[in-house]
Amino acid sequence: MKKITGSRRTMLAGSLAAAAGALAGTVASAAPATAKPTAYKALFQVSDDDPKKWNQTLNNIKNLQQDLGAANVTIEVVIFGPGIGMVKIESEVGNRVQEAIDAKVSVLVCQNTMRGAHLTPEDMQARVGYVPAGVGEIVRRQAEGYAYIRS
């Protein structure tokens, strides 16, 4: 085994310190201090025939947009089963549903539920969207990284 002299030891320590400093500089430059937050995605499920829950969902959506910034969050509401009353023309929260749509929230109605209840798009609030199956939409969106909130 070779003996390391004092000058070689100093050179080795200096080289290691320089390499560590360069690595730290690289890591620091890779993540800027003012990195923009990632976009958020949220999916709300409405499947209950309860106007209190409908209002709670709409309140939560509004609060989420205020907290994260409406431009930073994509929001979908999937409505199926007994929750379909939320988006019928005569819904007591119909005006709030339209406000949510105005605020760039996608309100999606399950076509399976509509067929089962013998409803047509003419029975629904204006500007809602439709999906073939509400549960299928939830599964797809969760696979895409959406946060899932059941109201």
Domains of the chain from N-terminus onward: 1-33 (no CATH), 40-150 (3.40.1260.10)
Beta strands 106-110 and 73-79: pairing type?
parallel
Which of 122, 113, 127 is CA-nearest to residue 46?
A: 113
pLDDT of residue 60: 98
Print pLDDT tens along the chain (151 aa).
Answer: 555 555 555 554 455 445 445 444 444 444 444 555 559 999 999 999 999 999 999 999 999 999 999 999 999 999 999 999 999 999 999 999 999 999 999 999 999 999 999 999 999 999 999 999 999 999 999 999 999 999 8
- Position 9 scores a pLDDT of 52
Q: Residue 102's CB: how many other CB atoms inside 10 A?
A: 9
